[in-house]
Amino acid sequence: MENGNVTKELQEFRKFKQHYNFVQKDIEEIDGILYCDGIALINEEGKELGDCEKWINVGYKLKGPYAKVLSNLFPYEFEFQGKKLHSIEAFFQGIKFKDPNMQEYVFKYSGLDSNNIKVASGYDWKESGIIYWQGEPIDRYSTKYDDLVDEVYISAIQNPLYRNVLKECDRYILHSMGGLEKSDTVFTRYEFEKQLNCLKDFLKEIN
């Protein structure tokens, strides 16, 4: 899609999201085992479950038809505000760098590589709560930040593979390993689950 179409779809998504009734599934511990919707997150082999009849648990290293390909670490290439990114994770790691030139390097990585490259940054966004997009400081707790993330995902779904994966999803999208506090992560478990579940339902409605 061209930039004009991305802008149009972004506006439609924001309207949809405003009225989206999202209820996050609880994860509870029973006898030392975590459960979601009555199903254990660990299988009989002691490995984290990526797929069941009630939900899809997103994780790049988890088994299941959707668990890996719905991860931000998966190498979907897309263009965002004139920048070519090699994964959604590249955005979330790149905004931890103050220097826009350093961001450009991070955007070239995908998956676990972009996640690990953060050790090259001497800036700790957690101290101030400020991230950077192309040299512009943005409060991680602000609506401006939320709007930026929405635009990232709408840009990402212009990749036809990522778009179709979301459209084909027929269960709740869970991310059990996601961080819980905004002060500790640039994208919490709640934010991730709401975003992807909202996106999949939005795509079903407009297509």
Instruction: Flag whether pLDDT at 2 surpasses 50.
Output: yes
DSSP strand pairing (55-57 vs 83-85): unpaired
Q: In whole angstroms, what is the distance from residue 70 CA to residue 130 CA?
A: 27
Q: In whole angstroms, what is the distance from residue 135 CA to residue 133 CA?
A: 5
Is residue 187 a contact partner of residue 71, using CB atoms and an 8 Å limit? no
pLDDT of res. 168: 94
Instruction: Flag whether pLDDT at 1 surpasses 50.
Output: no
Domain count, the chain: 1
For residues 77-102, average pLDDT:
94
pLDDT single digits (tens) 163-197 = 999 999 999 999 999 999 999 999 999 999 999 99
Residue range of the domain that includes 167: 3-206
Report the first-to-last Cα separation within the chain, whole angstroms.
Answer: 15
pLDDT of res. 45: 82
pLDDT of res. 115: 67
Q: In whole angstroms, what is the distance from residue 160 CA to residue 60 CA?
A: 19
DSSP strand pairing (39-40 vs 55-57): unpaired
**Residue-averaged pLDDT of the chain:** 92
Q: Return the minimum-mean-pLDDT range out of 64-78, 96-110, 122-136.
A: 96-110
In this prediction, residue 109 has a pLDDT band, given cuts at 50, 70 and 90, of: confident
206 torsion bin: left (phi>0), alpha (psi -120 to 50), beta (else): alpha
Find the CATH number of the domain harbouring 119: 1.10.357
Q: 92 — phi, psi (to 5°)?
A: -65, -30
pLDDT single digits (tens) 57-79 = 999 999 888 999 999 999 999 99
Q: In whole angstroms, what is the distance from residue 86 CA to residue 156 CA?
A: 10
Q: In whole angstroms, what is the distance from residue 159 CA to residue 87 CA?
A: 11
What residues form DSSP beta bridges with 173?
A: 56
How much is the pTM? 0.93
pLDDT of res. 114: 61
Is residue 87 a contact partner of residue 110, using CB atoms and an 8 Å limit? yes
In the chain, the percentage of residues whose pLDDT exceeds 70 is: 95
